[in-house]
Amino acid sequence: MSSLSWGRIPSPYRESTTGKQHSGPEPGAGVEHRSVGARSGPREQHGALDTLDDVLTHRQHRVVLLEGARGAGKSHVLTRGRELATEKGYQVAHHACEGIEYPPALFSALGHTTLPSTPGFAGTDAAHTRMLLVERAGSVAEHLSTQKPLLVSLDDVQFADQISMLALRTLPRQLRGKSVVWMLTRCTDREERSTRRLYELLERSVDTVRLTIEPLSPSEVADLARALCQARPERDLLSHLEALDGNPRNITELVNGYLDEGKIRTENGLAHLTESGEQDRTSALAMRLHGLPVRPALPRRFLNLVEEQLGTLSRRTRLVLQVAAVLGPTFRPDDITGVLGEPSAGIITEVQEALDSGLLVTTAQALAFRSDLLWQSVLESLPTPLRTALHRQVADAHLAHGGPVTEAAIHLLQGTSRDGTATTRGVLVRAAREALSSSPAVAAELAQCGLELTQSGDPEHTELTTVAVDALTRAGPLAEAVSTARAALTRSLPPSAEAEVRYCLSVAETLGGHATEAQEEPDERTAGEHLEKFRVSALQREFFRDRDAATKRADELLNSPSDTEPTVRVTAMQVRAQAHWEAGELHAGLHLAREAAELARHTPDLLWHTCPRLPLVLMLVHLGDPAEAEELVTAQHHDIDRRGTRTLAGVPHLLKARTALVTDRLGQALVEAETGLAKTAQVGLSVHDALAWDTLTTIALRRGELARANETLTRLETSTPADTVVRARHRWLRAELALAHDDTEAANTAVHALLDHPAHCRALLSTEPVAGARLARLGDERARTAVATACRRLAEDNPGFPVLATAAAHVRAVLDHEPETLERAEPYPDSWSRGVRAEDLAALWEGTDETRAVEYLDQALADYDSHGAERDAARVRRRLRQLGVRRRHWRCTKRPANGWDSLTETESSVATLVAQGLTNRQVAKQMFLSPHTIGFHLRQIFRKLGVRSRIELARDWGHARD
């Protein structure tokens, strides 16, 4: 008997053993607890089979107690145990318990089924009759054990009959001196007091080993999914499987079901869930309303497991669960009773049974299905006509009792015949408007569903159109918002509706990077109530199109009468603050950015697309205050989540990447930047991509991944908008990449291009103060003088920012060969810049005070290591070796013998560079090691990875990187 388990689903064969002895009434009694994991395959079974082999060979334990959830693999372990026993010459007596049965399960296992007709178990002779049967079972087992060793195997003892349970409580102790081994399994999904007491009794009275089936670990789930799909599962598929709590059978059924129905596709070695596919639109809409990802309809073979488990419940409990599933993943008991038309007390027994079975859990104010996947399973297991009728009933109840109109609309869509009645259209208009401010993705779907039910002449059509355009602009995709808006503008719209559509079109084009034309601000007569929105969108559009024109317009707005709308003032302050910053007026820029963020905080109806904290966060990061920046990013993230503006969902990740970069968390910075890029690409938001490509290029350079750095730098170069800061940082990073390749000529070219534009030089020094010292070592005398002058003026014009004074002192010390000047300056706020400072101090002292030079090199090495700048750290180690000092750079880490995880950090770096096509000599140059050392590391890599050529290494590296 097997079924689907939704609790903590333990599972057969990874073994981690903890022994624990319990004293009992009988001498020699003891219990050993062992955990085994549910994995398949010869190597993974080794631990569990070793345990069973010990029991069967040495008879150290007379009873093996196996426990775990349904579908976890208990029966599989039991089967392998019986096969092992047969190989060792045992007689095997096996039976799967199935509840009340006669002959009793134990007799069936022993092959002794010639018994009297079913005896009565009531009355004065009941106990005597049971004991006679138990004695007979004992006699049969003892007789069999005299012929050859006997294994008694009973599966699912929680279903065992009364006589078998009594026999199991007494016979293992009575037959302790005989050649009898017992193997019992029980299911832990539901609390069975009698079975638990049986296990405890056996542990007290005889020698036992208890094997608890543990769940698959996340990596094992990924391995199983990969084996089933014959491709590596991508993140969304793996997150979907997490709801199954590591149960191997359930994972297997779900994945195979998806494969059977074509709902998993493989591209470039990755297994993806298809888009919503056969999931109907309204079901997908319901998932979005509940904040769930939209996935394909569940496969039939998986739903069979759900129906199997529901079949163990009472009919009344199944009804309650099905009604609850229609209501949603979370629901209130009175919502169920409202549909059933009875008091809440009428479902107490059924709810308790569902809670005991692990299908439901309690929250503070409601009940909920244990997992979203379980909710979807129960819902989809309902016959479609019944499900449709229930949705309609729930919608009517919501509307009659003043429930949430959005939920009512979704239930109405799922229960309607799509006839587009006036009632349905009216509810959809109200629901779409209601959802717009908090769930624009849901609002867009509702509005589009409504448009399908209306004609252009219907009174609801115009309002649904404007809501659809607005919602798509907020939730994306932006391209769809643009196309919907343009299509709407081809028709005749009322003036107010036309103004709203044009405003949304402007915002969508701007955020999508297509603000190629200026936008005229309409007058009050044309714009009407949307004048404030138009002013903001026009200013933002101009900011990304023409900074000078945007700054001029911002000044006009800020100098206008004080009754200018707050959102307009916030946007104008942002534009003006950025202009101050790029002009080197950092105090003024920071002050105005703070003022804009503060005004925005007190403006409740702030337009969603203003992002008032973004410029302030970047300024704080550049000036060395990441702590305050992170607080602002958290607040920005909260606002976006609260408003449901999925179009901006990637922005906080891009900002988090920047704060992580300056606080020595390169791994987190990489993840956040890639996550941000994925989210912006999903909706078509491109105006902030330059920030991500800048971060990714910086990380790749500091890690020494030069091929990757060149790739991301190219993307940065083509990013829009190419403003002053983007151009400046692109040229700076191009120079850094050229230096990493020892291409001084290309580096000098990039530096001169940067210095030919003073505004670009100022912008770079404002965002990366330590860059001045790096630039001071390049170019001719004129270039070095220009850098020194720019750093000095920036520091003088902005007193109170220690990092700027340090940068100016750093440049002066490098050019004048005066290390004392730099030693007197305050340290940089970030470890990478401190590493650059210490490395330059070492160079300045080298030749005059070697001891001091070594001390500064050690300091630089510590700073670079702390930051994760592997390439810079390798360069410092080479300089130390040249001075006769060797510093170990490996960590004592317990690693596996084979595979990518077995590589040391140095080996991993070598493997990455070789996989990118570099020769040993080129790798040696980048890592500041000898070609001979690279060759040695490469041989170790080949051995650990089991590859024989660079081509195989590159192929495996590609898979590992994915």
Mean pLDDT of 561-587: 89
> Comparing 115-119, 141-145, 147-151, 948-952, which segment has the lowest mean pLDDT?
115-119
Nearest Cα to Cα of residue 359 among 704, 7, 691 = 7
Per DSSP, helices labelled H in 868-930 are 870-882, 905-915, 920-927
CA angle (487 as vertex; 607, 647 as ends), nearest 5: 35
Mean pLDDT of 486-497: 89
Q: Answer whether residue 43 shows pLDDT above 50.
A: no
Looking at per-residue pLDDT, the higher value among 764 and 453 belongs to 764
> Comparing 90-94, 309-313, 711-715, which segment has the lowest mean pLDDT?
309-313
CB 850 within 8 A of CB 880: no
Query: What is the identity of the amino acid at 176?
Result: R
Distance CA 605, CA 395 (A): 31
DSSP string, 523-538: -HHHHGGGHHHHHHHH
pLDDT tens string 291-339: 777 788 889 989 988 888 788 788 999 999 999 999 989 998 988 988 8
Q: What is the pLDDT of residue 5?
A: 38
Q: What is the pLDDT of residue 779?
A: 74
Mean pLDDT of 346-361: 89
H or E element in which residue 34 lies? strand 30-37
Confidence band of 275 (pLDDT split at 50, 70, 90): low
Q: What is the pLDDT of residue 306?
A: 83
CB 294 within 8 A of CB 371: no
Q: What is the pLDDT of residue 16?
A: 34
Q: What is the pLDDT of residue 887?
A: 66
Q: What is the pLDDT of residue 320?
A: 93
Q: What is the pLDDT of residue 509?
A: 93
Distance CA 610, CA 601 (A): 12
Average pLDDT, the chain: 83
Q: Answer whether residue 629 shows pLDDT above 90.
A: yes
Strand-pairing partners, residue 367, are 331, 362
Q: What is the pLDDT of residue 712?
A: 93
| Tally of CA atoms within 13 A in the half-sphere of 331 that contains its CB | 25
Confidence band of 11 (pLDDT split at 50, 70, 90): very low
Distance CA 504, CA 676 (A): 23
CB 647 within 8 A of CB 631: no
pLDDT exceeding 90 applies to what percent of the chain?
A: 32
Cβ count within 10 A of residue 799: 10
Beta strand spans in 38-120 (E): 63-68, 91-96
For the four alpha carbons of 457, 458, 459 and 460, in that order, the dihedral sign comes to: negative
CB 772 within 8 A of CB 814: no
Catalogue the long-range contacts made by 229-235 (C-beta closer than 8 Å, 24 or more residues apart).
Answer: 229/255, 229/259, 229/264, 229/266, 229/271, 230/266, 231/266, 231/269, 231/270, 231/271, 232/269, 232/270, 232/271, 232/959, 232/962, 233/270, 233/271, 234/270, 234/271, 234/272
> Comparing 372-376, 403-407, 580-584, which segment has the lowest mean pLDDT?
403-407
Distance CA 722, CA 516 (A): 13
Mean pLDDT of 468-490: 94
Cα-based distances in Å from 536 to 485, 533, 613: 19, 5, 16
Distance CA 534, CA 502 (A): 9
Q: Taking each helix axis as running N to C, give the angle between helix 758-767 and helix 744-755, from 0 to 180 degrees, rounded to the nearest 10.
A: 110
CB 535 within 8 A of CB 565: yes
Q: Is the peptide bond before 494 cis (omega within 30 degrees of 0)?
A: no
Q: What is the pLDDT of residue 248?
A: 87
pLDDT exceeding 70 applies to what percent of the chain?
A: 88
Burial of 113 (0-12, 13-18, 19+ CB in 10 A): exposed
For the four alpha carbons of 856, 858, 861 and 866, in that order, the dihedral sign comes to: negative
Q: What is the pLDDT of residue 45?
A: 42
30-37 and 63-68 beta bridge pairing: unpaired
Mean pLDDT of 783-804: 92
Q: Answer whether residue 589 shows pLDDT above 90.
A: yes
Q: What is the pLDDT of residue 42?
A: 35
Looking at per-residue pLDDT, the higher value among 553 and 105 belongs to 553
Six-digit token string for 291: 């904040």
pLDDT tens string 823-882: 999 999 999 999 999 999 999 999 899 999 999 999 999 999 999 998 899 899 889 988
pLDDT tens string 436-448: 998 999 899 899 8
Distance CA 364, CA 465 (A): 39
Q: What is the pLDDT of residue 25?
A: 40
Confidence band of 925 (pLDDT split at 50, 70, 90): confident
CB 309 within 8 A of CB 303: no
Mean pLDDT of 713-730: 85
Mean pLDDT of 742-747: 88
- pTM for the whole thing? 0.74
Q: What is the pLDDT of residue 962?
A: 54
Distance CA 647, CA 477 (A): 7
Q: What is the pLDDT of residue 277?
A: 47
Q: Answer whether residue 189 shows pLDDT above 90.
A: no
